[in-house]
Amino acid sequence: MSPTLFTTALCIGLTYAQQEQPSVVSNEGNLEFRLPRDKQAVITQESSIDLMAFAAQVDDVIDTKVPALRAGLTQDPTIGAYTAAMDQRVSTFAGLMDSKSRVDQIDQMVKDVKSKMDTLSSRADKATTSFDQTSKNLTTFVTSRFSKMQKEADAKLLSFEKKLNATLNAADEAIKKAGTNDHYIHWGSKNCRRLSSSSKLKNARKDFEGWMHGTQHNNAGGGTKNLCLIDASGNQGGQNSGGWHDGVRPVRIESTSQTSIRGVESKIIPCAKCFVETHCYDEVGLDGCKMEGYSPMYKGWMFGAYHGHHGNNERQCIEKAIVGGEWNNGGYYVAHIYPTQTQDGTMKRSGGTKSLSCAKCCKNQI
């Protein structure tokens, strides 16, 4: 090949639209190109290569230098170790590629499993939604049904409660009437007077007036209960009969001087059958009513049979504030009652012979 020849030429071509000439001057060691303002300067560089010489150089590199370089690299222990390492890596990479194939299979299996799990999850979501709706419907039904049943039960309980209250109220009224449907005897009076001080009681109603009857004082037998028999003519439903049997006689009051009662000694004791719409009881040994909520209809003295007589007449509370005109029966009969007296004291109750006070007490109505 011929020697390489490089030829470089620098050409400066100046083209002008008008016939003005450019100028090249030297200014303080510098080369200056001077052109008019509206003109252009074009600079062109050209090169040439000897292709035959270049081809010869390439052949020399391929035929000589490259084999020499290869032989040197083969003999270099570092390069050999590097090459072996690279071969090992290639082998490893090949194994990895085989493993990758299996990994790809596993990955595909994972994807399949995931797909099935997604399907199951979707079904589970649908089942959950369906269950939630069913649960909601069931809850709504149960709540509604329970509310209805509760209302029905409440209504039945309310009705039962009303009936029970009505029954209890009726029973309570019956008890009150049973306990307060009192007919009592006002002993020592032909009327059912109420003490003016007992303002919480209503006036009692008189059914009839009469006289006290009891056992004859010297009879060995007979009843003890005193009777208020109506002062009216006729048999009053009875009939004539013979014999003595359980005989009763008009009762006379005796020894009134040991009480506050005056002017009726040995007279037959008047009485009246009275009715009051409240409960009443006999208070003995007190000048009034000990039970709270009760007031005396009248106050009196206790009288009973004489201790030496055989006839045992029941003790009675005889009105203290007598009306003399009502004690108008002075007939002589053989049944008597006397003031009831304490003979001994005990504990706080003072001793000595004392006549006993009493009262007919009735539950306040006002």
Count other C-beta atoms under 10 Å from residue 163's C-beta.
10
Residue 17 pLDDT:
37
Domain extent listing, the chain: 9-75, 86-182, 188-233+247-363
Look up residue 140 and give its amino acid.
T
Rounded Cα distance, 12 and 249, in Å: 184
- DSSP state, 64? I
Task: Look at residue 12 in the predicted model and tell me its pLDDT.
Answer: 36
Instruction: Give the model's pLDDT for residue 181.
Output: 62
Q: Tell me, what's the pLDDT at 310?
A: 83
Query: CA 257, CA 310: separation in Å to the nearest integer?
Result: 23
pTM: 0.54
- pLDDT digits (tens), the chain, 366 positions: 443 333 333 333 333 334 456 777 777 767 676 767 676 666 655 566 676 776 777 777 677 766 766 666 566 677 667 667 777 766 776 666 666 676 677 678 778 767 877 776 777 677 677 767 877 887 888 788 778 888 888 888 888 888 888 888 887 776 655 555 689 999 999 999 999 999 999 999 999 999 999 999 888 888 889 999 999 999 999 988 887 889 999 999 999 999 999 999 999 999 999 999 999 999 999 999 999 999 999 999 999 999 998 888 899 999 999 999 999 999 888 899 999 999 888 888 877 889 999 999 999 999
Are residues 201 and 362 in contact, defined by beta-carbon separation less than 8 angstroms?
Answer: yes
Element (H, E) at 3: none
Distance CA 14, CA 346 (A): 167
